[in-house]
Chain A
Amino acid sequence: MPRSEVDGRAPTRRRQMVPAEKLPTRLPAAAQRFLPGIEPARDVDDWGRSQRLEQVFDNTLGDLLYDLWFRVEASNVDLLPSGGALLLSHRAGSLAPHAAMLSRIVRERFGPSRRLYVLHEPDLRAVPALGAMLSRFGCVPAQRANVERLLVDEGAFVLAFPEPVAAALKPLARRYRLARFTELDALATARAAGVPVLGAAVLGVEEANPTILARPRLPAPLRSVRRRVGRLSRRFPAAVRALARLPLVQMAFLPAKMRIDFVAVPDPGAALATRDYAELVRAAIEQRLADMLARRHSVWTG
């Protein structure tokens, strides 16, 4: 048997990539209604989400964070449609606390049966314990097929972070300046299916989870060494590579006051390319953050 990812090492051959535009057509519309039913006896759903574990989290740490630690206030919650939507938000550190806050907002608005699924990098699935834990809390690898099934077939709420992964490492001085959206698969899927897209501007999250020390900028002679190490690292286990993308040092959550505001950007349709529409959404979220920043008196009290 060839030694490959079974041993946790990267495959020696290049990955067989299928460009998005060449993905095969989906199931006919009639088949989409044959989704599996819910089995009440089960605690874990088909995505690996554990209802029991989430309830324990909600009743303990979740309520503590929402009500006492971050003192979350949400605005424009009525923009959330009942049939599911794609929420786009900005990155804030490696562990985004606002994902749990947004999940609570969706649950409070639509009941305990409606949950928010959070998209994460597929590489994290290879990290022992982390991949399994993420799925227990409704985190799903960010792949087009997964997004299609969640948004289009199941009518779920999905939270995506369209900024590049490196945006999670931005220093505190550059907080609330959103990077250009590059992870556009989820947005393209939602637009193609006519699923509503909302921006979620979260003030306070980037102070709650600041990056104190990112990877230092090396002098020029050492950068070529790092490039060679980077090429070699492709042979490392996928889990190690995924962990290496996390910032070097990050503090635990600080008790910054959190305000969440939903932003709707009208979609002109096929006349506007997804990249351009993503730029509109990014600008709208950034503007809303700027407005909220202007009204804020204190990071800790709001």
Chain B
Amino acid sequence: MSSRRVLVTGLSSYWGGRLAQALERHPAIEAIVGVDVEEPHVELERTEFVQVGADHALLRRIVEAARIDTVVDTRLIVDSWGVSVGELHDQNVAGTMNILAACSGPGSPVRKLVFKSSAHYYGRHQDDPAFFDEGMPRTYPPETTLEREILEAEASVAEFAEQRPDVRVALLRCTMVLGPDIDTSHARLFSLPVVPMILGFDPRYQFVHQDDVVRALEHATVNDLHGIYNVAADGVLVLSEVAGLLGKLPVPILPPWGTSLATTLLRRLGVPVTPEMLRLLRFGRGLDNRRLKATGFHYRYTSRETVLKFAEHLRLHPIVRAMQEPYRYERAVEEFLRWSPYVKRPHGPEEQLRARIAALETTVGELERRLRAGASPAGGSRRRRRREADAEGTDDKTPVGKASVAVEDGER
């Protein structure tokens, strides 16, 4: 089923905004509606923003009124740094249930749901497999609040999928994301002058670039995907290797026992060590990413390249930061840009028509020039024409080339 009318939740989040921008490039998608409590932070051309919370009654009205056939949920909080327990629960569990309730109902037009989840679903323990594939369960029960909330949210999605077999549900479990625009606890950790490690452990880390996550969401939205997919780049690095690529020193300052006590001190110093990160610093995690690749998706960056790009950002950010002005959403301005007939849209249909007319005028002018240039000698005219066309970069198969050859033959 091809998506034509898409609702993106969490439009003010990085993922929602970037996804909406990506979907705007698909002419087959005729309507994009974004919802969120806060205003978007990216510039959008034809995405309709509706400022609304996760109230399922209001969302259902929007879904039914706009005949939304695809809902993409990007709101899930996957990093517990700076987020309270209540906010985690509201956003991850209650918010997800509200979205699913809005998609349910006997007359609901929704035929596809894309849910962005996290690889925290799998956890990380000593006897985990080296690569988790989508069918593997956790080896231990969840031990942190974030993991519990993510499991609950995914359980709600699974229940929805069972109750609505007519809806295609694609669930994307994303591993650690790195990128110039995304602020995560791991990004902050790697921004420190040294990379802290647990003494005696060099865990395996797998990353994905922020652009690849957006492309994966876009891929899941516009293609007919159904099921669970891991989103992780090729390659699993060890933490010392990551530190080397970042040009930083790996420092094993955390003790292997009593680690939580040591990290409490670090947190007081502002070092973003979350409970989920502690286990990753000990055992790491790898994901099997082949199922998504088998659907035709290609990653632009490997894990190593993702880290290198992030290292580049760390070096350039202090210089570039001062030159960039952040986007600010103003409703009146957005409405003027979208609806006013006086706004010249570079990619609108009128502009495309003008571009085609200009191209035809150029072609006709070229033909006239050649006609005025006069007939060429009879022998070898076609061969000489081909040589000239090769030199010019055209041939006698193009309209200009064919017309020129026809003129030559007519004059002969």
Interface residues of A (CB under 8 A from B): 1-8, 11, 13, 15-16, 18, 23-28, 30-32, 34-37, 39, 41-44, 46-48, 122-123, 125-132, 135, 140-141, 143-146, 149, 237-239
Closest A residue to B299 using CB positions = A36
**CB atoms of A25 and B130 under 8 A apart:** no
Q: How far is the CA of A4 from the CA of B147 in the complex (A)?
A: 15
Closest A residue to B302 using CB positions = A39
Q: Check A145/B130 contact, CB under 8 A, given A8-B257, A39-B302.
A: yes
A-B pair count, CB < 8 Å, reads 137
Per DSSP, are chain A's interface residues mostly helix, strand or loop, or mixed? loop
Q: How far is the CA of A132 from the CA of B282 in the complex (A)?
A: 10
Closest A residue to B204 using CB positions = A48
Q: Check A31/B291 contact, CB under 8 A, given A24-B136, A26-B133, A125-B126.
A: yes
Which residues on the A side are within 8 Å of B257 (C-beta)? 7-8, 237
CB of B336 closer than 8 Å to a CB of A: no
**CB atoms of A27 and B127 under 8 A apart:** no
**CB atoms of A24 and B130 under 8 A apart:** no
CB of B300 closer than 8 Å to a CB of A: no
Which residue from A1, A128, A146 sits with its C-beta under 8 Å from B256? A128
Which residue from A35, A130, A145, A239 sits with its C-beta under 8 Å from B133? A145
**CB atoms of B235 and A42 under 8 A apart:** yes
Per DSSP, are chain B's interface residues mostly helix, strand or loop, or mixed? loop
**CB atoms of B201 and A31 under 8 A apart:** no
Closest A residue to B234 using CB positions = A36
**CB atoms of A46 and B200 under 8 A apart:** no
Q: Check A6/B127 contact, CB under 8 A, given A34-B290, A34-B294, A44-B237.
A: no
12 contacts between A and B (CB under 8 A): A36-B234, A37-B234, A42-B241, A46-B130, A125-B127, A126-B126, A127-B200, A135-B204, A141-B126, A143-B127, A145-B133, A237-B257
CB of B236 closer than 8 Å to a CB of A: yes
Which residues on the B side are within 8 Å of A141 (C-beta)? 126-127, 129-130
Q: How far is the CA of A202 from the CA of B143 in the complex (A)?
A: 45
**A147 vs chain B, min Cβ distance (A):** 10
Which residues on the A side are within 8 Å of B289 (C-beta)? 34, 36
Which residues on the B side are within 8 Å of A129 (C-beta)? 200
CB of B259 closer than 8 Å to a CB of A: yes
Within 8 A of A (CB), among B184-215: 198-202, 204
Q: Check A16/B135 contact, CB under 8 A, given A6-B278, A42-B235, A145-B129.
A: no
Q: How far is the CA of A48 from the CA of B198 in the complex (A)?
A: 17
Which residues on the B side are within 8 Å of A2 (C-beta)? 143
Q: Check A11/B136 contact, CB under 8 A, given A27-B290, A128-B201.
A: no
CB of B309 closer than 8 Å to a CB of A: no
Q: Check A8/B129 contact, CB under 8 A, given A25-B135, A44-B238.
A: no
**CB atoms of A44 and B129 under 8 A apart:** no
CB of B105 closer than 8 Å to a CB of A: no
Q: How far is the CA of A31 from the CA of B256 in the complex (A)?
A: 38
Which residues on the B side are within 8 Å of A16 (C-beta)? 137-141
**B263 vs chain A, min Cβ distance (A):** 9
**B227 vs chain A, min Cβ distance (A):** 11
Which residue from B202, B241, B291 sits with its C-beta under 8 Å from A27? B291
Q: How far is the CA of A27 from the CA of B229 in the complex (A)?
A: 11
**CB atoms of B294 and A30 under 8 A apart:** yes
Q: How far is the CA of A35 from the CA of B286 in the complex (A)?
A: 13
Q: How far is the CA of A43 from the CA of B241 in the complex (A)?
A: 9
- Chain B 207-234 interface 0/1 with A at a Cβ cutoff of 8 Å (1 = within): 0000000000000000000000000001
Closest B residue to A121 using CB positions = B127
Q: A6-B279, A48-B202, A238-B126 are in contact. List 16 more A-B contacts (CB 8 A).
A: A1-B260, A6-B259, A8-B256, A13-B141, A23-B136, A27-B288, A28-B294, A30-B294, A34-B290, A43-B241, A44-B241, A130-B200, A140-B130, A144-B129, A149-B288, A239-B256
Closest B residue to A145 using CB positions = B129
**A128 vs chain B, min Cβ distance (A):** 2
**CB atoms of B140 and A46 under 8 A apart:** no
Q: How far is the CA of A194 from the CA of B198 in the complex (A)?
A: 41
- Chain B 236-265 interface 0/1 with A at a Cβ cutoff of 8 Å (1 = within): 111001000000000000001111100000
**CB atoms of B130 and A146 under 8 A apart:** yes
**CB atoms of A6 and B260 under 8 A apart:** yes
Closest B residue to A2 using CB positions = B143
Would you list the 8 A-B pairs with minimal beta carbon distance, nearest first? A128-B200, A24-B135, A36-B234, A145-B129, A122-B127, A31-B294, A34-B290, A34-B293
